[in-house]
Amino acid sequence: MNIPFVDLQAQYRNIKPEIDKAVHQILDSSSYILGKAVKDFEAAFAKAHDAKHCLGVSSGTDALHLILWALGIGPGDEVITVPNTFIATIEAILLVGAKPVFVDINEGDYNIDTTKIEKAITAKTKAVLPVHLYGHSCDLHPILELTRKHNLWLIEDACQAHLAEYNGKKVGTFGIAAAFSFYPGKNLGAYGEAGAVMTNDSELYIKLSKLRDHGQGQKYFHEYWGHNYRMEGLQGAVLCVKLNYLEEWTKVRRKNAQYYNHYLREIPEISLPAEMPYAKHVYHLYEIRTHKRDELKTYLEGSGIATGLHYPIPLHIQKGLSCLGYREGEFPVTEKVSREILSLPMYPELTEGQISYVCNSIREFFQR
Ligand SMILES: *Cc1c(COP(=O)(O)O)cnc(C)c1O
């Protein structure tokens, strides 16, 4: 049996007539940039998260950059985040000229260790930028207590956490603003590059809207200089259609995670992902851990099963970020997790039969 890591074609086949119609409407109306489809999507995505404002942008990376830029974070400022994330989180901080300051993760949900944040706060700290990694919310309550106490911004990287919840409330609405990604493989994926900023702050929203479009509110009246971070009409149209399915797809992802948990529960050599009492996990990725990670990955490949590594090299020891001055050994939990973690196939189109095949192959590997 061949099981891909994600199956975007299977998803398209299921919704093809609706997608094709929406795409043709864009082609017929030539509204290639922003326009009605993007506006409709922004309203629907904000509503789905019980947020006031959503701004469609060109990618998740750009969403993060735009937030930091609009808040006036820049040279001389520090932003606290984690080394166990996709590099885009760090790039956004570097792009505004600020300094990323890392805090290690915890072994429970692999998100920021909230007990280590306060030690990293200095007079230069402007914001805490936690990442809801793999679709599991960070423990936001202690983070909010710290950001209030020290007068810092909380910015959420929710790029992997569409519809995820913290204590019954959607993530993306806890801080001043949040970034979402619609990279094709994300839980809600565009057919190209796209992202969004979410905020409940109307003043910030207006500033973000202008910066997204060359600093103009009205054409050729540039209140600031900004950049071109506009969402394409085609992406807005695709996302409008797919958003209608997101809740159902999220349910199926959670059910698939339960199948995995069930079939893998009696294999002592692996540990399964935790779902903390405060979190509703949306399983962008399903992560297991084992000391034999690399051998298991190769074995599964031999059985036709594709897996992923998120992430194999922590950011503090990436060559391209050596400018930050960190050294190996500084974030032991992140480093340990990076050697043991393995992402199994996870998407709504995955069947119980496929999941049981993956789990049987894992059991076979440990019984050899
Ligand atoms: C995908 C992702 C991003 C970047 O999103 P793009 O749309 O690919 O630019 C940022 N942060 C995290 C945690 C991500 O997973």
Q: CA nearest 261: which of 144, 356, 128?
A: 356
Please give the structure tokens belonging to residue 176: 């001043």
Categorize the per-residue pLDDT at 32 as very low, low, confident or very high, splitting at 50, 70 and 90: very high
User: How many Å lie between the centroid of ligand 1 and the Cα of residue 62?
Assistant: 9
245 alpha carbon – ligand 1 mean position (Å): 21
Q: Where are the alpha helices (DSSP H) in the chain?
A: 8-29, 35-48, 60-70, 88-95, 117-120, 140-149, 202-212, 233-264, 293-302, 332-340, 352-367
pLDDT digits (tens, 9 = 90+) for 103-158: 999 999 999 999 999 999 999 999 999 999 999 999 999 999 999 999 999 999 99
Nearest CA to ligand 1 atom 14: 159
Rounded CA separation 132/136 (Å): 5
How confident is the model over 257-305, as pLDDT tens digits? 999 999 999 999 999 999 999 999 999 999 999 999 999 999 999 999 9
Ligand 1 centroid from CA 56, angstroms: 14
Query: With bands split at pLDDT 50, 70 and 90, how would you rate the model's confidence at 351?
Result: very high
Secondary structure of residue 119 in the 3-state scheme: helix
Cα–Cα distance for residue pair 36/236, rounded to 1 Å: 8
Q: Residue 88: what pLDDT?
A: 98
Cβ atoms 198, 46 nearer than 8 A: yes
* Ligand 1 centroid distance, CA of 361 (Å): 31
Calpha distance 28→341 (Å, rounded)? 47
| Residues 69, 41 contacting (CB under 8 angstroms) | no
What is the per-residue pLDDT for 191? 98
Would you tell me how many other CB atoms lie within 10 Å of the CB of residue 316?
24
CB 61 within 8 A of CB 93: no
What pLDDT does 93 receive? 98
Q: How many Å lie between the centroid of ligand 1 and the Cα of residue 350?
A: 23
> What mean pLDDT comes out for the span 89-102?
98
Mean pLDDT for the stretch of residues 225-231: 97
Nearest to 365 by CA among 277, 295, 265, 274: 295
Per-residue confidence at 30, pLDDT binned at 50, 70, 90? very high
- pLDDT tier, 210 (very low <50, low <70, confident <90, very high otherwise): very high
Q: Whose CA is nearest to atom 2 of ligand 1?
A: 159
Report how far ligand 1's centroid is from the alpha carbon of 365 (Å). Answer: 33
Helix axes 60-70, 88-95, angle to 10 degrees: 30
Out of 93-102, 168-177, 212-221, 338-347, which region has the weakest mean confidence (pLDDT)? 212-221
The residue to mutate among 61, 129, 132, 162, having the most atoms of ligand 1 within 8 angstroms of its beta carbon, is 61
Q: Which of 100, 117, 111, 132 is nearest to 315 (CA)?
A: 100
**What average pLDDT does the segment 3-19 reach?**
97
Mean pLDDT along residues 31-37: 97
Query: In the chain, pLDDT over 70 holds for what percent of residues?
Result: 100
Return the best residue to mutate from 6, 136, 160 for the ligand 1 pocket (most ligand atoms within 8 A of CB). Answer: 160
- Alpha carbon of 262 to ligand 1 centroid (Å): 30
What ligand 1 atom has the least distance to the C-alpha of 182? 7
Q: Which residue has the tokens 């890591």?
A: 5
Q: Judge contact between 65 and 90, C-beta under 8 A.
A: no
> What per-residue confidence (pLDDT) applies to 272?
98
Using most ligand atoms within 8 A of CB, pick from 82, 94, 159, 239 the residue to mutate for ligand 1. 159
Best probe residue, ligand 1, of 86, 136, 311 (max atoms within 8 Å of C-beta) = 86
Residues with CB under 6 A from ligand 1: 59-61, 85-86, 88-89, 131, 157, 159-160, 181, 183, 195
Mean pLDDT (the chain) is: 97
Among 139, 185, 140, 192, which residue's Cα sits nearest to residue 159?
185
User: What are the beta bridge partners of residue 184?
Assistant: none
